Structure 1
Amino acid sequence: MENITAICLAPQNSRTSVGLFKRAVENAVAGSFHVDFVAGWADHPMLIKAFAQRMQAALSTARSKRSGRVAVLFIAHSVPARTIEPSESPVEYHGMILANGPDCYADDCKETAPLVAGELKDSLSPDGWYFAFQSQGMSGGPWIGPTVEDTLSQLKADGYGTVVIQPVGFLCDHVEALYDIDIAFQ
């Protein structure tokens, strides 16, 4: 028997994203291989260091070009609340039956942000950063939040003139995240 190690490039585990990829890999190999699937690595030291390096550069640039207070906003993609809530029976999502019980996605997302902020302790105060979820959809009831839009409005009301946004749920540029940050959130 051959072994495969698979890693989903979404660091925060979720049965509705990473879980779907895991099931797709397992179905594709159909028992031909043993699959060791890395389901979540939101707190991996190298991930945290990479995010912190990018944030440090962006934060330094923002502070050198802008006057006034600069906030840091860590963001991750939202999901429908119903897909991460515990349930008595398995949850179905996009035609796939997923496990019941609580989903760790929101907690994983919220775990990554303070770890990155901690790496920046020399240049970022503990109260100088915030967290929000982006891209809430229109279907399926409420989505997890707070939203980026509400958070940006509050930051403006609190006197911040500049916000540096760091997506922590994507490892590379993603069209949806780029649109949200570069166009919608402006």
Structure 2
Amino acid sequence: MPKQAVLLLAHGTPETAEQIPEYLRNVVSGRPLPEHVIEEIKHRYALIGRSPLTEITLEQGRLVEAELAMEGIDGQVYVGMRNWKPYIPDVVRKMRADGVEEAAVICLAPQNSRTSVGLYKRAVQAEAGSLNIDFTEGWAHDPLLADAFAERLRAAEAQLQRETGASVPVLFTAHSVPTRTVQAPDEEGQTAGPRLWPGEGTDPYAQEARGTAELVAERVPEIPKWWFAFQSQGASGGPWIGPTVEETLTAIAGEGVKTLVLQPIGFLCDHVEVLYDVDIAFKEYAAKLGIRLERPESLNASPVLARAIAGLAKRGLARLKGENSPSA
């Protein structure tokens, strides 16, 4: 029986401000960044203290391993990062050195896009060698993922309803991506129009992001109304997909909303895009519009999330066994 394991993939984050320039070079594949962009990222990290993404992801890996063990599945869970340590290539090499022959690989970015999941997949494949992998392409519509987000949202909604005496609407968000990366090619292979949700085209990201929001909203029927926007547009040249959170907040204020819940459904744990972008920048922007903005607790060590990922891993490992069975 081949030795099996699970590999979880995440973005990665530097431990100190001094590491940010190197980290950003990894994020943009070595392209030069203006000094003011680097200084702005340093400033954001200084305001939140540090990003806990790596330690939370490692904890998520331990929780998934425990979930699998409870089901009698003996498989170590490894964690690799695309832009910081432990780097994906180093972790894949370690897996091979440990004798792992088959691996269920899951990217902790549920909504599939060429600019996210595609890059993670290529990083694993480049080092896989003889390691047989099953890569989960996307899991935006996983019921347990929606359950995990709904559990957090329901708690925040109930607290605000006790405080305000009324149900509170919700703004769901996911990380934006450059428009060029989700453009649909025309018949001559040139990029045609941008694929803005619900839109058209070949990249599923925008549709999957909204799909996750819809599943969460269905599970929390007490919310009176909800919107969707893309957050954290980057500083690279060219447009990024929208609508932006800022323009959406402005429109929501125009409807007379005074209290709002913002829930990022593209992120599985706290990091700078949550702790700074949401908790500082968007809260300040909303306050200027007369809106009190609150955020549910991030999934982080959610047992429901751990069960969701463990289920994906279990199915991936089963597919690998099926490929190696005599009848496969």
* Residue 15 of structure 1, CA deviation: 0.9
Aligned partner of 2:138 in structure 1 is 40
Aligned partner of 1:16 in structure 2 is 115
> Does structure 1 conserve the Cα–Cα contact (< 8 Å) formed by 2:150 and 2:216?
yes
- 1:179 maps to 2:276: yes
Aligned partner of 1:52 in structure 2 is 150
- 1:76 maps to 2:174: yes
Unaligned runs of 5+ residues in structure 1 are 91-100
Unaligned runs of 5+ residues in structure 2 are 3-100, 192-200, 284-328
> Does structure 1 conserve the Cα–Cα contact (< 8 Å) formed by 2:175 and 2:231?
yes
* Residue 67 of structure 1, CA deviation: 5.4
* Residue 178 of structure 1, CA deviation: 1.8
RMSD: 1.7
- The count of aligned residue pairs is 172
TM-score, normalised with respect to structure 1: 0.87
For the pair shown, the structure with the greater C-alpha radius of gyration is 2
> Does structure 1 conserve the Cα–Cα contact (< 8 Å) formed by 2:171 and 2:228?
yes
TM-score, normalised with respect to structure 2: 0.50
Aligned partner of 1:135 in structure 2 is 232
After TM superposition, the structure 1 = structure 2 runs for residues 59-138 of structure 1, keeping only pairs within 5 Å, are: 59-66=157-164, 70-87=168-185, 88=189, 102-121=202-221, 123-125=222-224, 128-138=225-235
Q: Distance between the aligned counterparts of 2:133 and 2:121, measured in 1?
A: 9
Identify, as 1 or 2, the structure richer in helix.
2
Structure number with higher relative contact order (C-alpha < 8 Å, ≥ 6 residues apart):
1
Per-residue CA deviation, residues 25-68 of structure 1 (Å, 9 max, x unaligned), is 11121x22111100100000000000000000011112222356
Identity %: 55
> Does structure 1 conserve the Cα–Cα contact (< 8 Å) formed by 2:172 and 2:213?
yes
Aligned partner of 1:97 in structure 2 is none
> Does structure 1 conserve the Cα–Cα contact (< 8 Å) formed by 2:179 and 2:239?
yes
Q: Distance between the aligned counterparts of 2:208 and 2:153, measured in 1?
A: 19
Aligned partner of 1:146 in structure 2 is 243
Identify, as 1 or 2, the structure richer in strand.
1
Q: Distance between the aligned counterparts of 1:60 and 1:40, measured in 2?
A: 31
* Residue 177 of structure 1, CA deviation: 2.0
One of 85, 94, 104 as aligned partner of 1:5? 104
| Alpha carbons of structure 1 residues 84 and 104: separation in structure 2 relative to 1, 3 Å | same
